Amino acid sequence: MVVSGKGLSATMNAKVIGTGNDFVILAHGYGGDQSIWDKIVPCLSEKHRVLVFDWNFSGFHQKVNEKFFDAVKYYSSLDSFADDLVDLMDEMELRSCVFVGHSMSAMVGCIASIKRPELFKKLILVGASPRYLNAEDYEGGFELPAIEQFLSAIESNFHSWASAFAPLAVGGKDLKAAQQFETTLKKMNAEVALSLAKTIFLGDRRATIEEVAAPCTIITTTNDIVAPTSVAYYMQKKMEGKPKVEIIDTDGHFPQVTAPEQLLDALGRAMEMKDGGVHFPLSTTHEQVAQEQQQLVEAGSLGS
């Protein structure tokens, strides 16, 4: 059963699938929309009510409400997204939910859980990073010149950059998945894409994650050029309760499309709150990750 809403839930294209007792919220990341979860929703909705929606930068919103795009208000801080999430949950009268946030939405969920802890029973953070820039005693994955080149490519020719970036971010040889992400990415307004990219890739939310009190599981992949495994371990060390880290044996930043069965297994363990340490298939070296990150940086020049 699929249920659509009114008010803010209609504005955010929110849909509830399934008839279980517990709510699982799936929040997509930069350049995506709710379709990024299509491979895992059918299974999750067998036992849970699953909420999917589109953030205000998605192609859906550009079609229905251009005035919703206020770069100053919405894209200068992830707090605006957290406020939207809290407002949506209040409107739908949701409490004690499992929140699954992918990429930027992982940090959005962390912020929202600090603002309103009663709304969140569990945070599951997929491909999360509180900071993408390297710093002293912190490996975020990128040096500042690489990020600047990355942003310059978006500003110069967003669509060309998106074509180069999508297959590198998705990883592996799944051309269909890369094309899916490229399609949703290109639906973003180019100015919005640049503004939000600056907020994400130049931001620093390391202090935020130390304030998160909700139980948490961190899920990443063996070869994620956007958020390397070093970030997952850093988060585990800094967050309250020392969250479990699950590392899925697949390439790329999108396990929900490249390894949906493995992600579903990890989600199942997380939602059952089973104890466990770090699940890490040792099949990818740091050198491989570094090579993929360099490809990502080089992709930036393709958009200039």
Other Cβ atoms less than 10 A from the Cβ of 282: the count is 8
Other Cβ atoms less than 10 A from the Cβ of 290: the count is 13
Reference 107, options 130, 124, 77, 88; nearest CA is 130
At 57, the amino acid letter reads F
- The answer to whether residue 253 is catalytic is yes
Other Cβ atoms less than 10 A from the Cβ of 300: the count is 21
Please tell me whether residue 119 adopts helix, strand or coil conformation: helix
What does the block give as tokens for 1? 């059963």
Residue 238 burial (C-beta neighbours within 10 Å; 0-12, 13-18, 19+): middle
CA distance readout (Å), 38 to 71, 127, 230, 263: 29, 18, 29, 13
Reference 228, options 212, 203, 245, 241; nearest CA is 245
Please tell me whether residue 243 adopts helix, strand or coil conformation: coil
What does the block give as tokens for 249? 């044996």
What does the block give as tokens for 265? 């297994």
CA dist 236 and 112 (Å) reads 19
Which residue among 103, 113, 129, 195 is the active-site one?
A: 103
Reference 55, options 104, 128, 117, 100; nearest CA is 104
Which residue among 33, 84, 174, 224 is the active-site one?
A: 224
First to last CA, the chain: 46
What is the β-pairing status of strands 244-251 and 216-223? Answer: parallel
Residues acting as catalytic residues: 103, 224, 253
